[in-house]
């Protein structure tokens, strides 16, 4: 199985779920347990473990979606992910390590757009069961920079 087209689909669909206000689909892109962490390139370079956002189960991801819904966050802002092509860094029989660049533009309800974040995804994606769709075991979101000016924000 050539996995690159499947990785492209996974990334495109992940971005569409967030950008098109289908947040309830977001946890389904992850296995359970999982690791989803948003951090910065500086934190990563210094070996700091703490992230800006952290979840290690699908339940924690679902809780985050619930919180975002209660805050009506999507009414106030939306994202547009432009995701580059995935690079497969390593592959063994059971999983892939993948790096993918991204850029996110945020549009506020007022119509103001700004460059919200850029960076790269560092993913671990099991590929041992060809009958299953690909999902993330880990998605580490490493931001070059980001406008972390809100306590509640949509997922990256």
Closest to 39 measured CA to CA, from 54, 51, 56: 51
CB of 129 to a second copy, least distance (A): 23
Asked if residue 24 binds a second copy (CB under 8 A), the reply is no
Nearest residue (CB) to a second copy, 12 versus 90: 12
Stretch 61-120 residues interacting with a second copy (CB under 8 A): 78, 80-85, 87, 99, 101, 103, 105, 107-108, 111-115, 118-120
Least distance in angstroms from the C-beta of 56 to a second copy? 26
Span near a second copy by CB under 8 A; candidates 3-11, 24-32, 52-60, 130-138: 3-11
C-alpha span between 103 and 141 (Å, rounded)? 11
**Beta carbon nearer to a second copy, 41 or 71:** 41
Cα distance from N-terminal residue to C-terminal residue, the chain: 28
Give the total of residues touching a second copy (CB under 8 A): 38
C-alpha triplet 39, 76, 156: angle, nearest 5°: 25
Nearest partner of 98 among 86, 110, 106, 107, judged by Cα: 86
Distance CA(19)–CA(80), nearest Å, equals: 6
Q: Provide DSSP, 83-121.
A: E---EEEEE-SSEEEEEEEEEEEEEETTS-EEEEEEEEE
Closest distance to a second copy from the beta carbon of 102 (Å): 8
| Residues forming the site for a second copy (CB under 8 A) | 4-5, 8-9, 11-13, 15-16, 19-20, 41, 78, 80-85, 87, 99, 101, 103, 105, 107-108, 111-115, 118-120, 144-147
């Amino acid at each position: 199985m050539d996995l690159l087209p499947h990785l492209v689909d996974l990334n495109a669909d992940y971005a569409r779920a967030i950008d098109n206000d289908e947040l309830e689909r977001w946890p389904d892109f992850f296995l359970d347990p999982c690791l989803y962490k948003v951090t910065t390139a500086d934190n990563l370079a210094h070996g700091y473990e703490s992230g800006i956002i952290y979840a290690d189960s699908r339940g924690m991801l679902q809780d985050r979606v619930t919180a975002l819904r209660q805050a009506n966050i999507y009414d106030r802002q939306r994202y547009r992910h432009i995701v580059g092509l995935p690079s497969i860094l390593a592959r063994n029989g059971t999983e892939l390590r993948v790096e993918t660049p991204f850029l996110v533009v945020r549009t506020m309800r007022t119509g103001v757009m700004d460059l919200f974040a850029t960076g790269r995804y560092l993913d671990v994606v099991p590929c041992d069961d060809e009958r299953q769709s690909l999902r993330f075991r880990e998605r580490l979101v490493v931001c070059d920079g980001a406008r972390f000016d809100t306590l509640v924000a949509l997922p990256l």
